[in-house]
Amino acid sequence: MTFRFIHTADWQLGRAFGNLPPELAGELSGARYAAIARIAGIASANGARHVLVAGDIFDAEDLSNTMLRRALERMAEQSAVTWVLLPGNHDPARTGGVWDRVMRFGVPANIICVREDQPLALDGNVFVLPSPLTSKNPGRDPTQWMDTGATPAGAVRIGLAHGSVQGFGSDGESSVLIARDRAATAGLSYLALGDWHGALRVGPQTWYSGTPEPDRFPNNEPGHVLAVSVDGPGVAASVEKIASAQFTWARTTAALRSSSDLAGLEASVASLSTSPGKLLLKLVLTGSLSLSEHADLDAWRETWQARLAHLDVDTAALAVRPVDQDFENLGSDGPLVEAARSLADIASDPTRPDSAVAALALQRLFGFAAQARREGGA
C-alpha cells in the first residue's frame, strides 16, 4: 500500500508586508491564501488526499478573526483534501491563543488541528505523530515523545514537527531544537518539518518543505511543497519537490562600471522570472558610475520599477565618480566646476562621514546645472 501526502509548512497566513507599498502588500497577502487552493490542486494531481502542514499556518496569534475564518474557509472549500494543521512557534497551541479561537469558530470537517502529542490515525495503518508547539519558545525538543509514541504493529509512522534541527545551520527563528536522528530513533518513515522557509533535506527521511509562497528575500529555496509517498513501514519515503509559488522574491547583486553594464543586468533580471509582474527584486549595486551614467541608471530603474512587482535598488555601495565628461558638461573651469570638484573630493573620500551626502549633493549639482543649461537654451 502506498500512502501519498503533501508536506508543506510556514504558510504564515495574515503576514502584513507593511514595509512594501500597500497595494503590493495586499497582493502578497492574498497570494498566501490563494496558495491553499494551489496546494489542494497539487495534492489531487499527485493522488494525495492529505496535506500535512508543519507549523506556522498563521503568521501571528493575534490575527483578526476574519483572517482566521478566511483560512478555514479556503481549506474547507478544498473538500477533497484533509488538512492536518500543526501549531508552530508563530501560532502555538496555548490556552486563549489562536487555536482556541479557531476551535470557537468551529473547525470544518476536513481540517484536523493537532494540539496534543498523540498518534493520529490517518488512513488505515498510517499514523501521524505530531509535535505541536504549545508556546513560542518551549525550550525542549518537541519530538522527543515520538520515540515512545505507541502505534499498532506494522503501522507507518510519519512525524510532523516545527523547529530547527540540531547541527543544521538553520536560521529559523525558533529556539526549538529537534534531534537530527529523530526519524531513526522514532522509527519514522518520514519526518515533516517546518520553520526553515526553503525546501531542504536535512537528514534521512527528514525534510523541510519550506513555505509554499515566499515571504522574504531568501537565500534558500522557497516556493515549494513536497509530494511524499510512503510504501510501507520501514520503507524510505520518496519525495518530490513541486513549485507552488505565485511570486518570486529574488536578491541580486551586480557590479556596474558603465552604462553598458545595465544591459547585462537587464538580462539577468529578466531571467529571474517569466512573469516580471510577479517578481520582487532586491538589487544591490556595487561598482561606480559617472554622473551621466547614474542618470541612465535612474531612467533604467524607473522602467523596471514599473515592470516588476517590486524593485528595491540599494545603491549604498554604488559609488558616484564624476568623470571628465561630467565636468566638461559643466563648462570650463568656472565656479560650478570648482563646486563640483570640491563635492567630488568629499564624495570620493570614504573616510569622511559625509561622503554619501556629498555624492548626492554632487548628483543634484549636475542635475540643476543641466536644468539651467536647458533653460538657457530655451
Partner 1 sequence: MKIDALRVAAFRRFADPAAIEDFADGVNVLTGPNEMGKSTFFHALEAAFVVRHKVSGTVLDAMRPFAGGEPLVEADFSLNGNRWRIRKQFGRGSAAILTDLTAGRVAARNAEAEDQLGRLIGRAGDLQGPIGLVWVKQQRTLHAPDPDVDYVSGKEKPRGERNALQDAIGREVETAAGGEALERVRQLTEAALDLYLTPTRNAAKKNGPLDSARRKRDETRAALDLAERAAAAAEQRLQAIAAASAEFAALSAPELAARRQHDLAQLEAELASEVQRRAEFDVAREALKARLSEAESARQSLAAERARAERLSNLDQQRSLALDLEAQIAALAASLNSDGATPARLQQLSRAAHARDVADAGLQGEAARIEVRVEPAGAGLVRIDGHVIAGQARHDVPESADIVIDGIAAIRVTAAGAERTAAARQSRDAAGLEIAEILVAIGAAAIGEARDRAEARSRKAEELDRMRAKLSGVAPQGSAAIAKEFDRLLASIPPEGGVAALEDNVNSRAAAAHVMRERVDGLMSTILSDEAFRARSAKLDAARNAEASTARELARLTMRIENLKSEQAGADEDGRAGQVAALSGEYERHDGEVKRLEAEGKALLMLARTLEAIEAKARDAFFEPVTRRVQPYLNEVFGSAGLGFKDAFAIDGLTRDGQRQDFAVLSDGTREQLSVLVRLGFAELLAARGVSVPLVLDDPLVYSDDERLGKICRVLQAASLRSPAAGSEPRGLQIIVLTCRATAFQTLSGRRVSVTAWRPDV
Q: Binding residues for partner 1, per CB under 8 A?
A: 14-21, 25, 59-65, 67, 94-97, 100-101, 134-135, 292, 324-325, 328-336, 338-339, 342-343, 354, 356-358, 360-361, 363-365, 368-378
Nearest to partner 1 of 184, 356 (CB atom): 356
Nearer to partner 1, 187 or 218 (CB): 218
**Residue number, 220 or 329, with CB nearest to partner 1:** 329
Least Å from the CB of residue 372 to partner 1: 4
Nearer to partner 1, 91 or 230 (CB): 91
Closest distance between partner 1 and the C-beta of residue 88, in Å? Answer: 15
Smallest gap from Cβ 326 to partner 1, in A, equals 9
What residues have CB less than 8 Å from 282, skipping those under 6 apart?
217, 249, 250, 251, 252, 312, 314
CB of 67 to partner 1, least distance (A): 8
Which residue, 98 or 156, has its beta carbon nearer to partner 1? 98
Q: Which is nearer to partner 1, 204 or 334 (CB)?
A: 334
* Nearest distance, CB of residue 68 and partner 1, angstroms: 9
Task: Find residue 285's DSSP bridge partners.
Answer: 254
CB of 225 to partner 1, least distance (A): 24
CB of 125 to partner 1, least distance (A): 34
